[in-house]
Structure 1
Amino acid sequence: MAGVGRLTSIRIALLQLHPGESPRESFEIGAEGCRRAQKLGADICLLPEIWSHGYRFFDPATQGSLEEWRDSSMSWDSEFVRGFRELAKELSIAIGFSFLEASDRGPRNAFALADMRGEIVLKYAKVHVCLHALERNCAPGEDFYVAPLHTRSSPVIVGAMICYDREFPEAARILALKGAEIVLVPNACHLDDHRLGQLKTRAFENKIVLAMTNYPSSAGHGNGRSVGISAIAFSNTDARSSDDNKQSQYREILMVEGGPEEGIFTFDVDLDELRSYRENAIWGGRHRRPDTYQILTERIVEAGPDPHSLIN
């Protein structure tokens, strides 16, 4: 990850902001954050999960609350989505934002990436909906997607996953196999060291850059700790080298971590360095054995032998 100035270096801004009380107010807060990030040299801005509603759902004890929440979902032609598209074009940056999407299957936890021309280049609906919480009222997505994103510095292949998706190794692996170089992760939860360790592992094992934006502690459903994580865990890594004695040097992959309060946190990605590492390092898809992985697509839940049957 190199500094600003190289033609292949892009800057990602994590907008760890407190949401508004309405989609309109949240848009205005997000827009101001994007303007600040653009002045910091950002190529890509990322807002937290369901930014349109501040990750608020409904009160199950209040009659009509569920219906009101459902009715508040919005289309891809809504003022909220159009506003971020126009802002991205105005600022000549990419903006990743999520919102409660109206669909024929019910509301969805959706993500959009608008490029510097104001075009939506990536659409995604959260696959791993939290069935253990009110989010179970969202209809799940059905696949993971990647798309080329043109920036002022260089084009890059971008994917997305949302919050709980990062708990499942398959999500990041699928995105990596589809060619994602950078994965954007809008988030809304309490992040502890275990989950941050998970994110570092996802980046390391798949050779992808991860950018995760969480809500600040003031929002009530986040505790900050937004992170930018590099894919490059070692320097001098060359899987093609015949020199078994060649030593790779450990590198810290945590590039930036926010505190609990509001803030905008940036980090830089050197795409030349990233692509060289992805081509040469041994992790990711290089040495997979998919012929042995059939169980991964079977509909079982932590099946296994009875431990008592293993005792002679």
Structure 2
Amino acid sequence: MIFKVAVLQMRSLIGEYDKNIKTVLDNMTEAKRNGADILLLPECFVTGYDPTIENDKALDDNSSFIYELCNQAKNLDIGLVATAITKGKCSPQNSAFVISRRGEILMKYSKIHTCDFADEKLLESGKEFKVCDFDGIKIGIMICYDREFPESARILMLKGAEIILVPNDCGSMNPRIQALSTRAYENMCGVAMANPDGANAGNSCAFSPICWDSEGLCVDNTLLLADAETEGLFYAEFDMNELRTYREREMLGNTFRKVNAYKSLLNSEINYPFIREGQNKIQ
């Protein structure tokens, strides 16, 4: 079984909800025409990336924009990872909706690792990493800065994720691309990332977890690596049968972990040299 992910490398317009929605609808149509199972958008695509937006102006979960995307998914029989700044309890959240081929919202995930060293300190952080079932494939989401922390992908793997989709919006991509390849390798999960195009940006990518064959010979796990400045759709195909066979036989993921030695991971104390302004934000 091939799971084909369409990855949109494009920059949306801040506050131009109608124009951004039209862009998404058009790209859903093209992705479906090219045989994709799901379309992955960059971070905050529907609203544009503006963490300074007021909560009452952020996107409501029940807005007509979300309905329109769900309706298009159903009409085209294609999934969608839709992204936006959404209303939170007190402050906006940076969120992603996984929408099924039938137009149902399977999951809403809000970014846990908000960039509290920048304008995202104004946002309300999510509380839980989540996994949903998309046509029999377990999908997890992590958003941009989430991917800098190995724990994000690790928790998604522990919750059953087979494929991790990453809406993104940042630059200086080379080390981040390498890290995503590592996330795929160490968790035995497929990974795909969508990033807006631009100088020092772009490089949307996808990686298979399969890093060696059944004979133990290394193979290239890169399924997609776009350039920085090309705008448009890119595609990555995950062979789910091969991926699952690999997960059944290899020794990464949740196989020989020594969890009794991991207690320090839950220690919230921060010491030199990692002390930064804004770390006291209430979670």
Q: Which residue of 1 aligns with 2:32?
A: 38
When the two chains are superposed, the root-mean-square deviation of aligned CA atoms in Å is: 1.5
Which residue of 7, 30, 34 maps to 1:14?
7
**Contact 2:206–2:236 (Cα < 8 Å) also in 1:** yes
**Contact 1:20–1:29 (Cα < 8 Å) also in 2:** no
Instruction: Report the residue type matching 2:162 in the other structure.
Output: E
SS of structure 2 residue aligned to 1:112: strand
Instruction: Report the residue type matching 1:134 in the other structure.
Output: D
When normalised by structure 1's length, the TM-score is 0.84
Bigger radius of gyration among the two: 1
User: Aligned-pair distance for 1:97?
Assistant: 1.1
User: Aligned-pair distance for 1:127?
Assistant: 0.2
Q: Which residue of 1 aligns with 2:238?
A: 269
Q: Which residue of 2 aligns with 1:294?
A: 263
**Contact 1:17–1:216 (Cα < 8 Å) also in 2:** yes
Instruction: Report the residue type matching 2:242 in the other structure.
Output: E
User: Aligned-pair distance for 1:302?
Assistant: 4.9
Structure 2 residue 192 is the aligned partner of structure 1 residue 207: no
Which residue of 186, 207, 216 maps to 1:229?
207
Q: Which residue of 1 aligns with 2:68?
A: 83
Structure 2 residue 173 is the aligned partner of structure 1 residue 192: yes
Are the structure 2 counterparts of residues 82 and 191 from structure 1 closer, same or farther at C-alpha, using a change threshold of 3 Å? farther
Identity of paired residues, percent?
34
Q: Which residue of 2 aligns with 1:23?
A: 17
User: Aligned-pair distance for 1:86?
Assistant: 0.7
**Contact 1:45–1:94 (Cα < 8 Å) also in 2:** yes
Structure 2: tracts of 5 or more residues without a match: 274-283
Question: Which structure 2 residues correspond to residues 145-224 of structure 1 after superposition, within 5 A?
Answer: 145-150=130-135, 155-217=136-198, 223-224=201-202
Following the alignment from structure 1 to structure 2, what is the Cα–Cα distance between the partners of residues 163 and 146?
A: 17
When normalised by structure 2's length, the TM-score is 0.92
Q: Which residue of 2 aligns with 1:3?
A: none
User: Aligned-pair distance for 1:57?
Assistant: 3.8
Stretches of 4+ aligned residues off by more than 3 angstroms: none
User: Aligned-pair distance for 1:117?
Assistant: 0.4
Instruction: Report the residue type matching 2:224 in the other structure.
Output: V
Tell me how many residue pairs correspond in the alignment: 271
SS of structure 2 residue aligned to 1:51: coil
Following the alignment from structure 2 to structure 1, what is the Cα–Cα distance between the partners of residues 129 and 191?
A: 15
Following the alignment from structure 1 to structure 2, what is the Cα–Cα distance between the partners of residues 196 and 139?
A: 27
Structure 1: tracts of 5 or more residues without a match: 1-7, 59-65, 237-246, 305-312
